[in-house]
Amino acid sequence: MKKYPFKFLDSYQREDRGIFFGRDEEINALYEMVFQSSVILIYGASGTGKTSLINCGLAGKFQPHDWLALMIRRGNNINKSLEKALIDAGGNSQEAVVGVDWFNEWSDDSEKDKTDLSPICKSINAVYQKSFRPIYLIFDQFEELFILGTIAEQEIFIETVQDILQSKQPVKLIFSIREEYLGHLSRFERGVPQLLRKKIRIEPMNLEKVKQVIIGATEYIDSNISIKSGESDIVAEGIFDKIKGGEKSLTIQLPFLQVFLDKFYLKITNDESRRTEAEFNVSTLNDMGEIGDVLIDFLEGQVTDISNKLKAMYPVLTPEIIWKILSPFSTLEGTKDPIKKQDLYERLPNFDRALIDAVVENFINSRILRYNENNEMFEIAHDALAKPIAEKRSVEETAQLEIKRLIKSQVAVKEEGREYFTEKQLLFIEPYLEKYPISEEEKEWISKSKTHVKNEKLKVINQQYAELSKKRRIKILSAAIVALLLLIATTVYFAIKAREKGIVAEQEKVKAENAKNNTKKLLKLVMQGRGEQYTTQNDSLLVEQLRIEQTYPIDSLIVPKASVSPSNSGSNNRNYMLWIEVPSFRKYEIEQVNYKLCKGFVDRLRVSNEPSSSFSIGYLGFGYCPIVDIDVILKTGDTIQKSFSFEDYFIENPLP
């Protein structure tokens, strides 16, 4: 049967070498290096195909009896992962090693008593003796050791590598790392000087190589895709241009190429099983969108599909919820962030676990997520998909993540060296504390920081006060003598005036008291005017409320609201009104509010930039959208995404 020649977001494996094109030069260079050093470093940008180059390109150069590759990802701890990979390959370090304790000048340490070997080297020895194949330890995504690993973990690893290299076992080490992390290798290089001697950079794909990929895969004899005769070059160049989009770059990213090719195939065949034969041609290609759309399209398509598919079982499910479930898989910066199932549950405390399971399951089937057996973590199949997920986060969610990182990074340091949160940070953290569960230690540190900030402030005030009184004291002393003379002279005068002044002061006091009472009354009136919930509150709470409204980030203060009332004319249609509730003195921060209505409305985008009406819109109609997405665009340019559920509204406010 003919085969679908693209791998989508998976990396190519040894058995795919028939359909792996465009990397001959790099494969040959890498293969030569294997015979030049025991340590090889492969680096390049994310998504340049480093993993495929090793697993498929390099592996394909070897006969099966010359190549035993163990792929090692960091997981929770690179040292444990290495151990596990070896044990899984049959290397039980507990097994007794039978060696012959004899050596001469030429075979010196290579024949050193094998019982002296470290546990890792014993494991390697055992793995080797099972198959007599040279072992290649491949550390994929090695940057994870530097992004996520502790110094202690890194140091143990460096020692292990030194140990392996000295053990003279038939083993080679290949490290694959994203190039932006090369600088992190300096300590490692000090311990293992040959680390950077044999290295190869995997360049992004240029037009020539992309052509090789497309033409190679379509001319491959068992491929179920072909290109319309005579159009090979134009189609390949067209695909390259589409993926490049408006950028001036001479290269493109591989995962984009794969997603694009997959979309292209589906556009022609509509066959999800990818069995139907397809012919690529220029005219269909011209109808394809640009890559950015294709990629986000793809992910969004999956989100909608999965939402529809699971709707029957989980009626609460919306695409928005799916995006929220995906959110923990992406870092703040929009790169992938592997996560254990248990941690995922904890990150999504208000979600039904069965629902999370079902969503994850479906993303695995559509290859957007994958499960890594070595570390039992789930992760996004590729960084390229992490970005759109990060971009889908609301301002609030992003802020939550930032706060989480802030707290974690501060508290991760030992208490002696830890810094207190600053007043500004505390202000930033506070609004989210209720929504985001934190540990006792973190809680304690926040409260200690608060005390610290308070004490610092007091200190400053005391200092200022002390300075002030010092200045006063000098003035007072010199003035004292004059004053003494004057005192005698004026005593008589004051005695007369004193009575008069006492009366005025009394009057002033009454006036001030009245003003204060008036302010409180006014505040109460204003706040009561803003809703029932304020009527019963005492003064100090109202003041606190005002403080919150003044200082909290605006996204936490915005609440979409709606009202529905019968038509004035008494017909069946109703008046629908949508607005956002926000403290009046913060309205000026908002530029405009977009209300996105669902299908069925003639005017699907309604915009209000009228602060005085609380940015309201309204319509007279027979129907409503179950959920209205609302974009609040701030003057700063940020967009806050909110939504309003009429479904929930009508549950709380049933129609008469």
Partner 1 sequence: MKTVRIFIASSSELKDDRDQFRMFISKENDRLHTEGIYLEVVQWENFLDAISDTRLQDEYNKAISTCDIVLCLFFTKVGKYSAEEFDTAYQVFKDKGKPKIWTYFKNAQINTGSITDEINTLLAFKKKIGNLGHFYTEYTNIDNLINQYRTQLDKFLPAFEKVIINPPPSPPQAPIENTFNDLLTKRLIQAMKPYDRKANDFLSTYGNWETNKDLVPTVKRIIISGYVGVLGIQLRKLMSIGEEDFSEYKMKRYLENCHLTALKALQLISYALISTLWDSKLNNKVNLSDEQTNVLIKFFKSATEENINDFSNLLKTLITAFLDNKLELPISELKDFIPKLQSGSELHNACSNLNAITDLLNGASFTLGDCANAEKNLTVLLENLNFLVAYKMISIKDIDYNFQRNDKEGFYLHHYTLLDGENQANNNSNGKIRKDSTPVTSYAVLLFKDNYQQNINLVPFIIDYNGLADSGGSKICFYSFCNTFDDMNLNYSFIEDNSKVTIKKSGNIKPDDTDVRAINKWLSDKENRKDMNFDNVFDLFYKAKKALAGIEKETEIDEF
The site for partner 1 (CB under 8 A) is made up of 32, 35-38, 61-66, 88, 95-96, 98-100, 102, 106-107, 110-111, 129-134, 165, 168-172, 194, 197-198, 273, 341, 361, 365, 371, 373, 376
Specify the residue, 3 or 228, whose C-beta has the smaller distance to partner 1. Answer: 3
**Tally of residues, the chain:** 656
**DSSP conformation class of 339:** B
Q: Select 340 or 524, whichever has its Cβ closest to partner 1.
A: 340
Nearer to partner 1, 91 or 431 (CB): 91
Neighbours of 347 (CB within 10 A): 19
Smallest separation, CB 277 to partner 1 (Å): 18
Whole-number minimum distance, CB 35 to partner 1, in Å? 5
Could you tell me the smallest distance in angstroms from the CB atom of residue 317 to partner 1? Answer: 17
**Comparison of 160 and 251: residue with beta carbon closer to partner 1:** 160
CB of 592 to partner 1, least distance (A): 45
Measured from the CB atom, the residue of 36 and 350 that comes closer to partner 1 is: 36
Per DSSP, the three-state class of 614 is coil
Cα–Cα distance measured from residue 335 to residue 561, given in angstroms and rounded to the nearest whole number:
35
What is the spatial distance between Cα 457 and Cα 465, in angstroms, rounded to a whole number?
A: 12
- Using the minimum distance from each CB to partner 1, give the nearer residue, 96 or 525: 96
Cβ proximity to partner 1, 110 vs 535, nearer residue: 110
Residue pair 368/418 in contact by the 8 Å Cβ criterion? no
Distance in Å, CB of 307 to partner 1, minimum: 17
> Least separation, in Å, of the C-beta of 1 and partner 1?
9
Q: How far is the CB of 311 from partner 1 (least distance, A)?
A: 15
b/e string for 265-287 if b means 16 or more Cβ within 10 A?
Answer: beebbeeeebeeebebbeeebee
Nearest Cα to Cα of residue 449 among 467, 428, 422: 422
Backbone φ and ψ of 137, nearest 5°? -90, 115
Give the span between the Cα atoms of 204 and 250, in whole angstroms: 9
Nearer to partner 1, 172 or 606 (CB): 172
Rounded to the nearest 5°, which phi and psi values hold at 562? -150, 160
CA 528 – CA 537 distance, rounded (Å)? 9
- Rounded to the nearest whole angstrom, what is the least distance from the CB of residue 28 to partner 1 in the complex? 11
For partner 1, which is the closer residue by CB, 35 or 493? Answer: 35
DSSP string, 159-197: HHHHHHHHTT-SEEEEEEEEGGGGGGGHHHHHHSGGGGT
CB neighbour list of residue 192: distance below 8 Å, 6 or more residues apart: 39, 158, 161, 162, 165
Tell me the closest approach of the beta carbon of residue 61 to partner 1, in angstroms: 8
